[in-house]
Structure 1
């Protein structure tokens, strides 16, 4: 009889503990009822290239500054997504159509005149290959002066508003885009 009372007490204790947990830790219960895959969905919003361009041409890039993602299509229609860093503020952000006019491996970096004005302590130039170079290992130069799609040595910047106007990618991602995107690739920043 005593064993049965102990078992009964244990069940009651368990039920009380479970009730307290539901009352005092509702987030645990809610976490179990939410689809775990849905909770981990990225914030990337993809775009159909046809909504922005008439034809693929030699390829095209759409960089969404809100969802911080770059979509690249090759001439045969293959599309890949890449997380990006985007400009720090709206006044540094340029939106609209441009194109890739030059490509450089291990580009050197020089701050723009406005960057020098805001940060006079910055060096006048950092050579390509230098770990302090903010352009990373590759850069796609756009038809807009001073604007680039480039790599970064500082991977903490990806997924954030952290640039002075450019679109930044992980070095391994810009190397992939660099190989796949010829000069003349159409670009739209939205």
Structure 2
């Protein structure tokens, strides 16, 4: 009886210690990140996107200039080109919290390869230790390409931190793997319509 009790306690202790170590490791990895990301150990279960194909018609009246639908619940981005010959579905990162999430219609107003990054005023308020500017390169939180939207400070962009994809991990932007944003970048134009739901 005493031996069983000891084994149960040891197993419980091991599991608790492992969970604590994983959480500590995840937080340490985030120390140099320039985007907010909660304790990764708490979000591992939900690091998944819904890869369910959608039809564009319930969301858009036309495909003029192409269309991007971002589903923040399933953490997926859908793209249809103007003549319907191309449909793409990509996993994304989405905003960390509801108050950082913006939904509605917008459009691509600028395309930038090798974007630079500056924290928004609200980011600076929350994280005064963040740098004022990060130029293009491997430390840039916007990755290799960015689609600037008509909403101030909102982008669809790449990320060098691939752990963020499939998670609630951004300050409002929609993140894609660099290879996916590069592909999307080539297919979109200024004027591509965007809907976030």
TM-score normalised by L of structure 1: 0.76
Q: CA RMSD in A?
A: 1.3
How is 1:1-190 mapped onto 2 (pairs within 5 angstroms)? 43-77=50-84, 78-129=86-137, 131-190=138-197
| Residues 42/177 of structure 1: CA separation in 2 closer, same or farther (3 Å cut) | closer
Unaligned stretches of 5+ in structure 2?
1-47
Aligned-residue offset at 1:132: 1.3
Give distance in 2, aligned partners of 1:189 and 1:127: 28
Give distance in 1, aligned partners of 2:102 and 2:54: 19
3-state SS in 2 of match to 1:50: coil
Detail structure 1 runs of 4+ shifted over 6 Å in the superposition. none
Contact 2:111 2:146 in 1 (8 A): yes
| Residues 87/42 of structure 1: CA separation in 2 closer, same or farther (3 Å cut) | closer
Number of residue pairs aligned between Structure 1 and Structure 2: 149
Aligned-residue offset at 1:42: 6.4
Per-residue CA deviations over 1:35-79 (Å, capped at 9, x if unaligned) read xxxxxx963344321111110001000000000000011112121
Aligned-residue offset at 1:86: 0.2
* Rg (Cα) greater in structure: 1
TM-score normalised by L of structure 2: 0.74
Per-residue CA deviations over 1:80-112 (Å, capped at 9, x if unaligned) read 000000000000000000000000001000000
3-state SS in 2 of match to 1:49: coil
Give distance in 1, aligned partners of 2:49 and 2:80: 20
Give distance in 1, aligned partners of 2:49 and 2:157: 22
